Amino acid sequence: MPQVSKKTLKIRGELLDLSIPLVMGIVNLTPDSFYSGSRLSSLDSVLDRVGVMETEGATFIDIGGYSTRPGADHISISEEIDRIQSIIEPLTKNFPNLIISIDTFRSEVARVAVKHGADVVNDVSGGLLDANMFDTIAELGVAYILMHMRGTPQTMNQFTEYDRLIPDILKELKIKLDLLRSKGVSDVLVDPGFGFAKTISQNFELMNVLSQFILLGCPLLVGISRKATIYRTLHITAAEALNGTTVLNTLALQQGASILRVHDVKSAVEAVKLWMAVGGIN
């Protein structure tokens, strides 16, 4: 089984143990995210959903105010900030044991979110869409999720041509990782970016050799929950894609994933427990 050299993440000045895989629950404060079950708008609905996720075993909650589904509408920075800033602080007060992640590719939004209590910045663009992001992360001193993407959420499906899929993605991530480390950012999770500038067949190829990304020396985060790779392959809808999600999450665990980012926390936590029970170890 592949081994990752780093099995911890520094959160709030303390080391979080990642030797047993953890689960990140998704909360979208957007009206157009691809899976309707994750869309929330009011504070009460968010608190209710997060309360359930905590009970089900989530360690992280990922809050997003900008939909990054393919072809999603572009919104202004001010609108994105408006969606997230009134939500994050109540979450930190009501759920002090949860780790709050802000899903944004904009440094200004990241700064506001961290000010209100976010502990992690989850950047789907890996610094590609905001030249100030890496410096901002270094200044804020928070953990960072470096994801692979090409283009923008509106154009990424036009950038699926690779010379060699896995080496190209590894190279692009390595360049950014080196830059982050040169700026003193050491707490980095790597997300290979399932569904972002990748075709369905490329996503399956990526899953098949996911363990190669451990060569980057960072814990792996996998976010494939209810995505088109699952529901289009099975000719179903996103709402029907839980079983397929569980199958691919389990394969990701076998390939060394340290964090599963999911819409359905209970199922992911159960997958981790059963995988561990049969001798799984990252």
Active site residues per annotation: 227, 261
| Residue type present at position 197 | A
Burial class (CB in 10 A: 0-12, 13-18, 19+), 251: middle
- Which residues have C-beta within 8 Å of that of residue 28, sequence separation ≥ 6? 38, 39, 40, 64, 67
Q: How far, in Å, CA of 102 to CA of 156, rounded?
A: 21
Q: Cα separations (Å) of 112 from 19, 68, 83, 97, 156?
A: 31, 19, 11, 21, 27
Q: What angle do CA 269, 273, 276 make, to 5 degrees?
A: 135
Q: Cα separations (Å) of 146 from 9, 97, 124, 126, 170?
A: 14, 24, 7, 5, 12
Residue with tokens 């470096």: 146
Q: How far, in Å, CA of 245 to CA of 262, rounded?
A: 9
Q: Cα separations (Å) of 243 from 36, 205, 281?
A: 17, 20, 23
